[in-house]
């Protein structure tokens, strides 16, 4: 016999089903990932902007320290440390480092008519952004052994990306005069 009881069930299920909970958790995970990525990107951009300012300060102080001299043959990192040419946040116990904790060195170029600022151990993402942001300011920019800018107005983006991605941490050299 068929049960013809048409009365609604007295048992009401309240709350969420497991599937609904899993969907809510998945949405929360995706939202968290998006937020974390945006925060990291903003932090990276702020660090790159800070380093662009540091580079500008180093160049300015170096140029003023060597004004009136025929060349940069006596230029060393130690000399500039003695001249307080580096922003204070870059100097710790006589060692100059950038925001990613790699060494910063200053040397005369081969011709001694310009100078090189080298940033060791720069992360790939920071390398691409830093070179792209500041390349107009420098005569040449080299990432590892690749000249990404030489005489042009800006660095070649394809060369920059390839060179910056050659290793997780790279050396960037900025040539100024």
Global pTM reads 0.77
Asked if pLDDT for residue 20 goes beyond 70, the answer is yes
Q: What is the pLDDT of residue 2?
A: 55
CATH top class, domain 18-176 = alpha beta
Q: What is the pLDDT of residue 152?
A: 72
d(CA 131, CA 36): 25
Asked if pLDDT for residue 8 goes beyond 70, the answer is no
pLDDT, tens digit, for every residue of 24-75? Answer: 899 999 988 888 888 787 788 888 999 999 999 999 999 999 998 999 999 9
Domain residue ranges of the chain, discontinuous segments joined by +: 18-176
pLDDT, tens digit, for every residue of 89-129? Answer: 999 999 999 999 999 999 999 999 999 999 999 999 899 99
């Amino acid at each position: 016999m068929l049960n013809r009881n048409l009365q609604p069930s007295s048992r009401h299920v309240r709350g969420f089903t497991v599937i609904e909970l899993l969907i809510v958790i998945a949405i929360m995970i995706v939202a968290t990932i998006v937020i974390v990525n945006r925060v990291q990107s903003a932090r990276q951009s702020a660090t790159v902007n800070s380093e662009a300012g540091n580079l500008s300060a180093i160049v300015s102080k170096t140029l003023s320290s060597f004004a009136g001299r025929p060349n940069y043959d006596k230029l060393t990192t130690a000399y500039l440390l003695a001249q307080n040419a580096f922003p204070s946040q870059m100097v710790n116990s006589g060692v100059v480092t950038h925001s990613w904790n790699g060494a910063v060195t200053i040397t005369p170029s081969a011709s001694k008519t310009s100078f090189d600022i080298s940033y060791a151990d720069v992360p790939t993402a920071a390398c691409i952004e830093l070179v792209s942001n500041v390349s107009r300011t420098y005569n040449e920019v080299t990432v590892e052994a690749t000249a990404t800018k030489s005489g042009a107005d800006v660095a070649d983006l394809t060369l920059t990306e390839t060179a910056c991605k050659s290793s997780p941490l790279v050396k960037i050299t900025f040539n100024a005069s």
